[in-house]
Amino acid sequence: MRRSHATTVSLLAALTLAACTNAKDVLEPSAIAPQSTQAVPTAGSGTAATPTAPATTAQPSATAQPSATAQPSAPAQPAAELPAKSAAVIARTRLQVAPIVGASVEAATPLTAQLQTRAKQRGISLAGSAGQTPTHVLKGYFSTMSEGKDTTVIYVWDVYDPAGNRLHRINGQQKAPSVNGGEGWAAVAPETMQAIADQTIDQFATWLGGQAG
């Protein structure tokens, strides 16, 4: 009986020890640590979280930027159309040059002569005394200013229609070395007045061309 009791106690002790051993194996953190530590890096690793595809598609491509051909260009105008219209307006123009105001006769003579020459070169007809009615009247006002060895001619031209309405104004100045050692109109060379005549007719023709539109 005592041996049976001892045997029973021994069996109970053995079962208790075995139960404790199994519980230790299950609850030991080291038994599950390898699985936990492997699962966390796999779910949150740097390679899996980095979006590789959007990095390339998010950047604007070259086709998204406006190209040079996409910009609106000015409509091309026929090269011969505008000159033809300007020529038609100039062909209908008959210009009358009124007496020059402010200039001496010696200075006005080469000016008037060159105005006529330049007008013919530009295809502008001059209205004479043969009963031709002018389409435009050109009136000029002149003055001089001497400074040191130079003399400046200041001029203003008003363009009128036959009814006396002012249509346009041309003004400017021409500076040149004084001649004959004088001042005022005596110091103005004929070449200076001829240059003014050329500039005047050229500006007048440019203005006429602008009226063609």
Q: Which domain holds residue 133?
A: 83-210
pLDDT of residue 98: 95
53 located within any domain: no
Residue 155 in domain: yes
Task: Note whether residue 138 is domain-resident.
Answer: yes
Beta-carbon contacts of 167 under 8 Å, excluding residues fewer than 6 positions away, are: 136, 159, 160, 161
pLDDT of residue 139: 98
pLDDT for residue 212: 64
Q: Is residue 59 part of a domain?
A: no
Cα 208 from Cα 4, distance rounded (Å):
141
Residue 181, pLDDT score:
80
For residue 39, tell me if it sits in a domain. Answer: no
Q: How many CB atoms lie within 10 A of CB 184?
A: 14
Among 153, 135, 149, which residue's Cα sits nearest to residue 199? 153
The token pair at 166 is 């002012």
Closest CA to 158 of 100, 212, 90, 86: 100
In a domain, 113, yes or no: yes
| Assigned domain for 108 exists | yes
In angstroms, what CA-CA distances link 67 with 59, 75, 90?
Answer: 17, 18, 43
Which residues of the chain, if any, have pLDDT below 70? 1-82, 129-131, 212-213
Report d(CA 94, CA 197) in Å as an integer: 17
Predicted model pTM: 0.60
Looking at the domain assignment, is residue 193 inside a domain? yes
The residue whose two tokens read 């604007």 is: 60
At 7-47, the pLDDT tens digits run: 444 545 444 444 444 444 443 434 334 443 344 444 444 44
Number of domains in the chain: 1
CATH of the domain at 206: 3.30.160.150
